[in-house]
Structure formats: C-alpha cells, structure tokens
C-alpha cells in the first residue's frame, strides 16, 4: 500500500502527539496531503520536523475543536488551502477532568462531550458537502473500548465515546449512498503520553516507591490483556491507513477493536 493515499487531502485532528501523531506520520508515508489540527502549535511543529514530512504537503491548524468557532475555522483553512477534502480522521478527544461519577462537575461532562462528540458533529456539517465530491471519501473516528465496557471512573469519557461510536454508525448509514465510508477504531490500553501522564498522577498521590507503582500499574494492565502486552500507536495508525485505502472500500459502519484481546464482548 506504499503511496496509496497519494494526493488525498486528509484531516487528522488531535494530530500533535500520541495516536494522532502516529497516524499523521503513517499517512505522510502513504503520500497523503495532510491538514494537521491541534490546539498546540508548538507540538505540531515538532511533529513535522520529522524527516517523514520532508517534501510533503501539509498545513498546520491550531484550533480548539471543542468549540464551534474552532471547528469552523479548521474547516475554512482546509477548503481555502486545498479546495477539497477526501478524509477525516477524527482522533481528538479525551476526558476533561478525571474521577468517579460523584467527583465530576456538569462542566466536566459538557466539555468532554464537546471535544469527543460535538467536534465530529460540527466538522461533519461543514465538510460532508466536500466529501461528497470525492471518489475516496472516508470518515474514521478513534473511539475506545470504554464505549462498550466502561470502568469505575471517568463515566463522562466512556459515555461520550459510546455516543461517538453510535454517531459514527449513523453517519455510515446516511452517507453510504454518496460513497462515503464511515468507520470507527476502538483502542484498548495504548502506550501514549496521555497514559504515562495518568501513571504520573498515581505516583504523585503515592510518593513512596513510585517506581514500584509504575511497574505494578503496568503489570496489572498486562494481566488483563490476553496477548500480554500494552498496545502501541503504530497498531492504530496501521488500521486507520488501511481503512483509508482503496482495499477497504467495501467496509463501512464497522467498529474495529484493537486491544490485544482485552475486551470480553464478541459482538
């Protein structure tokens, strides 16, 4: 599939670090023209300093997609810069505030739904008319296994990811007639900067023997994964690149679980 995305204009949201950065690098390798969006322009510039982006065509967009104005400005940049769009990789998201149900405020819930769900809702409103004109149109959302198997904390996050996955299926249903494929990818426990930050929070709350805390935390997660290892961002980037390719044109309305077998559900 080398260079199979050549000249396709693809938006990657939450592009600067972690899964988003891995996806951006993978798509650059495959020849895509990239619109890379993040709130952090410094990290975006760090990303594109990688040799992979040398001589590649891209635009950097620094906007907060948790706001209506941010999504509108992001879409405007893409259309003004390229005049078209062929794909959206909706990766932006995360929990805004963390904790148990009784520890979360209304703002935590609203802000989390804004960044995880409304970002795609708003981008879709603006960009679908342009996707209809593409012969290779795709929308891919990065969801989470928490959408199907919520844990004991961060219910605002798992609920928003369930909503995102449901909305993705809805878009697949209504956009199929226009040749727009819409799918979601649900990662399990992936080694990202965000995951490591979560471990650091645990360490800061337990100052004694922080090295053991990290080791025990990692081991406890690995025990719940049949393959025995935490995932890496490359695995997510690879499935996204496949779904954007011509080889996946008969796949729409599907959710791909990438979790090393951690999930207990079958369907």
Does residue 200 sit in the same domain as residue 211? yes
Residue located via tokens 């989470």: 144
Q: How many domains does the chain have?
A: 2
- Tell me whether residue 21 is in a domain: yes
49 and 123 in a common domain? yes
182 and 125 inside one domain: yes
> By three-state DSSP, how is residue 37 classified?
strand
In a domain, 113, yes or no: yes
Classify residue 136: in a domain, yes or no: yes
Does pLDDT of 197 surpass 70?
A: no
Q: Are residues 160 and 100 located together in one domain of the fold?
A: yes
pLDDT over threshold 80, residue 19: yes
Please check whether residues 101 and 206 belong to one and the same domain: no
Give me the pLDDT at residue 1, please: 53
141 & 207 share domain: no
User: Does 114 share its domain with 205?
Assistant: no
**172 lies in a domain?**
yes
Evaluate whether residue 1 is within a structural domain. no
- The CATH number covering residue 112 comes to 3.40.50.720
Specify whether the CB–CB gap between 154 and 95 falls below 8 A.
yes
Mean pLDDT over the full length of the chain: 93
Closest CA to 185 of 233, 151, 228: 233
Rounded to 5 degrees, φ, ψ at 244 are -80, -15
Residue 78 located in a structural domain: yes
Predicted local confidence at residue 265, as pLDDT: 87
Q: In this structure, is residue 219 part of a structural domain?
A: yes
**So what's the pLDDT on residue 218?**
75
SS3 207: coil
What is this structure's pTM?
0.93
pLDDT at 221: 77
Residues 117 and 211 in one domain: no
Q: What is the distance in angstroms between the CA of the first residue and the CA of the last residue of the chain?
A: 29
117 & 238 share domain: yes
Q: Which domain holds residue 76?
A: 9-190+234-258
Residue 52 and residue 138 in one domain: yes
| pLDDT for position 215 | 73
Query: Looking at the structure, do residues 136 and 203 belong to the same domain, yes or no?
Result: no
What confidence score (pLDDT) does residue 206 get? 61
- What integer pLDDT is reported at residue 266 of this predicted model? 83
Query: What's residue 40's pLDDT?
Result: 97
How far is 237 from 220, CA to CA, in rounded Å? 25
- Residue 176's nearest CA partner among 141, 143, 142, 139 is 139
pLDDT(70) > 90? yes
- Per residue in 200-244, pLDDT (tens digit) is 666 566 656 666 666 776 787 788 899 989 899 999 999 999 999
Q: Yes or no: say if 109 and 156 are a contact pair by the CB < 8 Å rule.
A: yes
Does residue 267 lie in a domain region? no
pLDDT exceeds cutoff 80 at 92: yes
Q: Strand 255-258 to strand 9-13: parallel, antiparallel, or no bridges (unpaired)? A: unpaired
According to DSSP, the β-strands at 58-62 and 138-142 are unpaired
Provide the β-strand partners of residue 37.
Answer: 13, 61
Work out the average pLDDT over 154-168: 98
> For residue 87, what are its two tokens?
């794909």
pLDDT tens figures, 98-153: 999 999 999 999 999 999 999 999 999 999 999 999 999 999 999 999 999 999 99
Q: Tell me, what's the pLDDT at 202?
A: 61
- Asked if 221 and 108 sit in the same domain, the reply is no
């Amino acid at each position: 599939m080398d260079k199979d995305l050549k000249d396709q204009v693809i938006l990657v949201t939450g592009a600067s670090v972690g899964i988003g950065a891995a996806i951006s690098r993978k798509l650059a390798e495959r020849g895509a023209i990239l619109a890379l969006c993040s709130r952090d322009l410094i990290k975006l510039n760090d990303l594109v300093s990688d040799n992979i982006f040398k001589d590649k065509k891209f635009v950097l967009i620094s906007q907060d997609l948790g706001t209506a104005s941010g999504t509108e400005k992001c879409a405007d940049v893409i259309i003004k810069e390229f005049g078209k769009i062929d794909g959206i990789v909706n990766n932006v998201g995360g929990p805004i505030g963390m904790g148990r149900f009784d520890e979360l405020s209304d703002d935590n819930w609203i802000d989390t739904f804004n960044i995880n769900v409304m970002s795609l809702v708003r981008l879709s409103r603006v960009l679908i008319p342009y996707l209809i004109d593409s012969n290779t149109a795709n929308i891919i959302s990065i969801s989470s296994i928490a959408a199907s198997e919520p844990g004991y904390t961060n219910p605002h996050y798992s609920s928003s990811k369930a909503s995102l996955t449901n909305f993705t299926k809805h878009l697949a249903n209504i956009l199929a007639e226009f040749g727009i494929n819409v799918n979601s990818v649900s990662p399990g426990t992936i080694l990202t900067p965000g995951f490591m930050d979560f471990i650091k929070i645990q360490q800061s709350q337990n100052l004694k023997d922080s090295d053991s805390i990290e080791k025990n935390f990692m081991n406890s997660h690995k025990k719940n994964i049949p393959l025995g290892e935490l995932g890496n961002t490359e695995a997510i980037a690879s499935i996204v690149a496949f779904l954007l390719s011509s080889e996946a044109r008969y796949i729409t309305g599907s959710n791909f679980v990438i979790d090393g077998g951690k999930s207990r559900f079958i369907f």
